[in-house]
Structure 1
Amino acid sequence: MAIDLYVWPTPNGYKVSIALEEMGLPYTVHAVNIGAGDQFKPDFLKISPNNRMPAIVDSDGPGGKPLSLFESGAILIYLAEKTGKFRPQDPATWYTHLQWLMWQMGGVGPMFGQAGHFMFYAPEKIQYGIDRYGAEAKRLMKVANERLAASAYLGGDEYGIADMATFPWLRLHERYGIETAEFPHVKRWIDAIAARPAVQRGLELLKENVRPAGQSLTDAERENMFGKKR
């Protein structure tokens, strides 16, 4: 039975589409247009009460019962546990993967997201925000580069869910004025992951709805994405 994926083509959305492709799980895509305010619809809030995508509903969850999940990190852990794929059996190795997944969830996603907000979407240019979050994005690239100098992937020798979570963000480094010439180990890692067929399929997610880089938001889109609703 297919997993229902509620999503929009953003870095957080790609995390889950890539994982589903890598793990060979069938899924049905339900577009959640965050610019149009779909994330506030009552039916979606029953699945994702924090009004954020991605979210999933697995009709064949634990014990054969339906399970809904929000938060991309929780979804990735669940899918790895469900399939036994990209889930190292050695506890120390698994916790290393989880450590770097949490690094992405608590650091890369929020900091790159704030950098993007101030650089591209804020209604007025606030240089402090641009400098603050741009510098933090670059610092996180340095952390990744140092890790990947010592390890093929973030979790260790094997590609895993921490890489699936982080790749959709770091592959966009040029948008943030970050050149990989300064971070050669990150470049090697990005190139290796981008070449994976499942990753390429995952990045096809709702491709007709991908916002062109630099395209301005309408007032309604800005309110839906960054306003005071809910």
Structure 2
Amino acid sequence: MFTIYGYNTFNPEKAMLAAEELGIDYRYVKVELGRQEHKSPEHLARHPLGKVPVLEHDGNFIIESAAISRYLSRLHDHRLYATDPLQAAHIDGVMDMLICHVGPQAGTHFWQEVIRPGFFKEPTDTAMVDGAKLLLGSVLPALDAFLSDTEFLCGDEVTLADTTAFPYFRVQESTSMDISEYPHLTRWYKAFAARPSVQRLLDKLASQPTLLPSA
């Protein structure tokens, strides 16, 4: 039995989307960050830093979304990944580019434009948002170029690079993050959003709506 402990933010969504693409039957358990459930002794036993996502499988806990995604892939004949070392390195390289360069900027957008005003009633720091846009502008052209002659980020088949990327770019649905000037990236995003795996993911997230922090 697979259980993913998470929250409705992009890091848990990356692990969940990989599971959906692999056709894995898993249970989603929402950890309410606003109510400090991630700092409970029960959750700290799963993740020593009190983070999400965490995958529980056969009594073992796997942390970090990329590690979870690779683990699930290896259990399913390396689907979404690769047994060939060169191709695996290519997928890893794009995943690392996304995690190191896109993720922090998507996180800034989400924190400044959703979390601060919505949860803490604080104003958005527009300078931080502008800085995120500038930094994204240095990496998005490369991702757009990857997609100039392929359907997906690492070729013509879905890989973990795509399941890592999509939740980051989904942040644009609730913030001012914008990829519209990148035609190949925009085409990829729209096509990926229509995949059945994404609809299943969204259905799971909607089944456990976010609660506001306790007073």
AA partner of residue 66 (structure 2): G
Deviation at 1:156, TM superposition (A): 2.4
| Gap regions ≥5 residues in structure 1 | 60-65, 222-230
Give identity over the alignment, percent.
Answer: 26
Match runs of 1:61-72 below 5 Å: 66-72=59-65
Residue 3 of structure 1 corresponds to: 2
Residue 225 of structure 1 corresponds to: none
Residue 44 of structure 1 corresponds to: 43
RMSD: 2.2
CA deviation map 1:199-218 (0-9, x unaligned): 21122223144559xxxx76
**Inter-CA distance 106–55: structure 2 relative to 1 (3 Å threshold):** same
CA distance in 2, matches of 1:94, 1:164: 15
CA distance in 2, matches of 1:137, 1:14: 20
TM-score using structure 1 length: 0.81
SS at match of 2:158: coil
SS at match of 1:115: helix
CA deviation map 1:111-161 (0-9, x unaligned): 210122223434244332121113223433333212211432222232111
**Equivalent residues of 2:14, 2:167 under 8 A apart:** yes
Deviation at 1:46, TM superposition (A): 1.1
Residue 101 of structure 1 corresponds to: 95
CA distance in 2, matches of 1:89, 1:52: 30
CA deviation map 1:21-59 (0-9, x unaligned): 211222112110111111101111111112111111110
SS at match of 1:103: helix
Residue 201 of structure 2 corresponds to: 202
**Inter-CA distance 42–124: structure 2 relative to 1 (3 Å threshold):** same
The count of corresponding residues between Structure 1 and Structure 2 is: 209
Deviation at 1:15, TM superposition (A): 1.3
- Within the candidate set 76, 83, 89, 2:76 is matched to 83
